[in-house]
Structure 1
């Protein structure tokens, strides 16, 4: 026993000695370095400032932040997605914790005679590309998965999304990183996104390859193609994939060198005006036979008038089959803070503007509008449908459904939930089978609760909601109807006729 105690004492002294030695080394380093003033003036102790700062973002969401005050997504939003994804009740008690007074808050106007459940209907499929594409797409769900690339997302995350989308009957956008086997694994409908680097459909020089377009289009699951002009996180800047994430497999899928950082151009080099955009859309549609649209963040908007005018000059068949409008307040991608914070209009302003310009040009039945941008709860999706969207998509909502904890480490390959990392040890915690069920449950709960809002305002289904069904709080503290703030094209009587109870 004495020998054991002596051994433990020696070990303790040795460990303490190592700690003291380490502190002395850190003291010397901090005192004589010149890059950091705090560490130079307060050796060793000054390092705690950075440790606590890093830990602060985690502690805030658990101990200090109120349910509705976090950004970019607060606890109430994340918990709704989490409960919906688990298939649990999303009901709450004791009243709303949401402050209904801030400018822009949507308030849906309930009808004195809401739609009875027995009279409610499921949203019918909507056709995209009819009359232009050889193989139009009959899209079943008004809520779908937005673009998140394989490479930015991990293998188990993409597999879970693919299988979950198939179970829920919604589409999955590949993001600009190309088509991987994991996208196809679940059997869901796929929207293939073509980014500025043409990943997955490029030749060795980085130009668009018709041969590779045909190879992708040969997959029956690939229903549409989307040209990405810009996205919320990076309006005016290309995508970024760190070298640590460019494995041999990802490099082969994208058609780029392995082990090197991949940075996309800030726009398509071969699309520099409206004519070239329409020509490219027509070319891809001709090669693939499938609907083609584009995704953009709206900032300058005069070009949209010119776009629709040129479409009418060429003929409706020249139009993009859909336009995806993204919000300028950031997305899943890593980007400079200045772009995320200050460039591009938010969806609240851009969506009504785009739908009005399309309708004014007489192209409502030809061009479908897809809305994207922080649409993670039923009220946000319902607002987008009221504003004129035909479809809605979400990226971060599905990340929460996969188990994202908003650790804000998406660009560092250290995601603790295994969603945005290629570290096998971290990926191990993400079970694709379990998460696929969560993804499917999230979609189904979203569609159900948007339907509840629709029935409350007195219509049969979500797409029958119009702008007069929602009001927005204004700066004087009063709410005003959305159709007053953004008068739709066509008379109010015509809009009322489209909202029938039969």
Structure 2
């Protein structure tokens, strides 16, 4: 209620001074007039639907909004195209007309009986608990309006995910929330029942996420409301720490077989896994397990170490795991070299906000992208950095019903839908300007990086790109040691080496 106190005080002052003006002296109107105007402005803030901060903080929210605009202006300077590391996409002197319909990606390998057409941009994993019920519902309704998918995050398949009617990617984490036994294990029957819901289009097994690889997610106790506790099967008000690893498998082979089991339990819907890549040898071990068992996931979602998450210690961001660029290239090359790329789609999760961002990730090996932070900004996120406290002024990352009221579901869903549509259209226009009618025509030569004051190199020159089945026919020297050491029955340690030997062409 403290958030409404300034408006209440102004309204009380307006009422008092207006009474004094009517009863005592007309001179009081000099004070009553401005206070009445402020009261009217505050009531307007409270009733409007477009700005979540003003709905949650009438009058005082205008101070935060002004500061946010100043920050935006401060960040909107010109890009230094001569800075080392600057990257740009290569336009064509023979561009093409962009297609009227945005392309989609068919997700589903030969073992999948219910393939799904994935949009180029979707809602990345954000759990109910981390997000408010209204935020989850607004994202889901936006996904329905825009015909793209929402990843549920590892917090379970809540009623708020289902009410909006949007397509869902149900994420299963190490806590197995939503399909959890009493002792914290995996409940196959509950999983099968929920995976059969028509809203669930894909299932994603989370191994790790950007900024928190090797550690389970954390939901502070202040955000564990009765609804969150019910969905997760945990005590109200207690901090929820997910286990660091899964209980149902411990080797690459067991992982692959568990994914196949999930697909069967889900009625043949697409099943995949999500990870922040740390070791190329481990990725190759999973590929060897796929080849040995003759089964493969339908998709892999790659997260980057630079990805932000409210469930991770700040000191781990960017210091554990590969950045998204290297992670994407590693997974793409491993699947291509193993002869598996044609049956496994790759999603890129993290640092996607604009059309060129999507195209850049497609060049690096992805088939589609997911965004979290940009979707929150579309909802009205004020970047107050209070996500972990439950005191979000925009009503997005809180379980307080009064604070959550700041977010209007209908307006928020429209903003999410419009943002996704505009961003995908931008990506399609960028590809058309490059002379590419659809993502299949993109190559590593389409992305260039400045490597020095007078040198430019394309991704085709910067990175080694394997040919289909090359690891099976005879791996190149830079991959041979990891390929030979990759064990389908054990996750191992990476071999010591330099970055140029791992990713580059040795130039």
For the aligned pair, the TM-score class normalised by the smaller chain equals 0.7 to 0.9
Equivalent residues of 1:145, 1:393 under 8 A apart: yes
**Contact kept? 1:162, 1:187, Cα under 8 Å:** yes
Aligned partner of 2:243 in structure 1 is 265
Q: Following TM superposition, by how much is the alpha carbon of 1:362 offset from its aligned partner in structure 2, in angstroms?
A: 0.9
State the match for 1:284 in structure 2: 262
Find the aligned partners of 2:452 and 2:194 in 1 and give their Cα distance.
49
1:311 to 290, 302, 307: 290
Distance in 2 (CA, whole Å) between partners of 1:405 and 1:259 is 26
Contact 1:123 1:462 in 2 (8 A): no
Displacement over 4 Å in runs of 4+: 57-66
2:466 is the alignment partner of 1:489: yes
SS in 1 for 2:205: strand
1:269 CA displacement: 2.6
Residue 429 of structure 1 pairs with residue 406 of structure 2: yes
Relative to the length of structure 2, the TM-score reads 0.76
Unaligned runs of 5+ in 1: 5-56, 69-75, 77-95, 492-502
Paired residues of 2:353 and 2:374 also in contact (CA < 8 A): yes
Matches within 5 A, 1:366-445: 366-445=343-422
How far 1:155 moved relative to its partner? Answer: 1.0
Query: 1:122 aligned to 54, 78, 101, which one?
Result: 101
Q: CA RMSD in A?
A: 2.1
The answer for the alignment partner of 1:299 in structure 2 is 278
Counterpart contact for 1:178–1:254, Cα < 8 Å: yes
CA shift at 1:263, angstroms? Answer: 0.6
State the SS of the aligned residue for 1:204. Answer: coil
| Partners of 2:466 and 2:391 in 1: CA distance | 48
Relative to structure 1, the CA distance from residue 470 to residue 336 in structure 2 (aligned partners, 3 Å threshold; closer, same or farther) is same
Question: How far has the Cα of 1:67 moved from its partner?
Answer: 3.7
Pairs within 5 Å for 1:58-73: 63=70, 67-68=74-75
- State the alpha-carbon separation in 2 of the partners of residues 477 and 149 from structure 1: 46
Match of 2:171 in 1: 193
Contact 2:172 2:205 in 1 (8 A): yes
- Do 1:401 and 1:435's aligned partners in 2 also have CA atoms closer than 8 Å? yes
Given the alignment, which residue of 217, 222, 225 partners 1:247? 225
Instruction: Give the deviation of 1:479 after TM superposition.
Output: 2.1
- 2: distance between equivalents of 1:436 and 1:235? 31
Contact 2:103 2:120 in 1 (8 A): no
Decide which of 144, 148, 151 is 2:129's aligned counterpart.
151
Counting only pairs closer than 5 Å after superposition, residues 463-482 of structure 1 correspond to structure 2 as 463-482=440-459
Structure 1 residues 333 and 152, CA, compared in 2 at 3 Å: closer, same or farther? same
- 1:131 aligned residue (75, 99, 110): 110
User: What residue number does 1:204 align with?
Assistant: 182
Does 1:362 find its partner at 2:339?
yes
Question: Aligned partners of 2:263 and 2:72: how far apart in 1?
Answer: 49
For residues 366-391 of structure 1, what are the alpha-carbon distances to aligned partners after superposition, in whole Å with 9 as ceiling and x for unaligned? Answer: 11000011111122111001112111
1:106 aligned residue: 87
Change (3 A) 1:230 1:370: same
CA distance in 2 between partners of 1:106 and 1:383 (Å): 9
Cα–Cα, structure 1 residues 195 and 456, in superposed 2: closer, same or farther, change >3 Å?
Answer: same
1:136 is displaced (CA, Å) by: 2.3
**Which consecutive unaligned segments of at least 5 residues does structure 2 have?**
1-19, 21-63, 469-507
Q: Which of these residues, 204, 214, 218, is aligned with residue 226 of structure 1? A: 204
Query: Offset at 1:215?
Result: 1.6
Equivalent residues of 2:105, 2:368 under 8 A apart:
no
Decide whether the 8 Å contact of 2:120 with 2:368 is kept in 1: yes
Give CA deviations for 1:195-238 in whole Å, capped at 9, x if unaligned. Answer: 11000111111110011111211211101111111101311111
Aligned equivalents of 1:64 and 1:381: distance in 2? Answer: 25
Aligned counterparts of 1:446 and 1:282: Cα–Cα separation in 2? 34
CA distance in structure 1 between the partners assigned to 2:163 and 2:332 by the alignment: 35
Give distance in 2, aligned partners of 1:434 and 1:265: 37
Count matched residues: 406
2:433 aligned residue (456, 481, 489): 456
CA–CA distance in structure 2, aligned partners of residues 440 and 198 of structure 1: 30
